[in-house]
């Protein structure tokens, strides 16, 4: 098992390490992109669909890399990661569907 290095990935003010904060930021970006991708699909705009799909693939790749690194760090609070996700992204229809218990409307 890889050991967590506090000097490389320190815990910030919100109780998350830099890599955990990156996971929250990337997840918010993914939640923002999904409705745009669905809109392009509904309109039959295949050029936009290809561009948005490629952008989404890059975001998911970055999310996977950040999550692999963040998995080595301790998570202090159960809801800290969701609290770090952009509230507007969580409040989107996709965010509410995927995370009904973490909607900012509550």
Tens digits of pLDDT across the chain (106 residues): 456 677 777 787 777 888 888 899 999 999 999 988 889 999 999 999 999 999 999 999 999 988 888 877 766 677 788 888 888 888 888 888 888 887 665 5
- Identify whether the C-beta of residue 38 lies closer than 8 Å to the C-beta of residue 19: no
Two structure tokens written together for 70: 């963040």
DSSP 85: S
> What's phi and psi for 81, nearest 5 deg?
-65, -45
- Residue 1 CA to residue 51 CA, distance in Å, equals 38
Beta-bridged to residue 11, according to DSSP, are 17
- pTM (whole model) above 0.85: no
């Amino acid at each position: 098992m890889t050991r967590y290095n506090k000097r490389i990935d320190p815990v910030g003010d919100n109780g998350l390490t830099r890599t955990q904060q990156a996971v929250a930021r990337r997840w918010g970006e993914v939640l923002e992109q999904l409705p745009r991708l669905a809109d392009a699909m509904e309109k039959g705009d295949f050029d936009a669909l290809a561009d948005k799909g490629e952008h989404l693939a890059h975001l998911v790749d970055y999310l996977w890399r950040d999550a692999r690194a963040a998995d080595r760090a301790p998570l202090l609070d159960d809801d800290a990661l969701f609290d770090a996700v952009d509230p507007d992204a969580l409040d989107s229809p996709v965010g509410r569907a995927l995370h009904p218990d973490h909607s900012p409307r509550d």
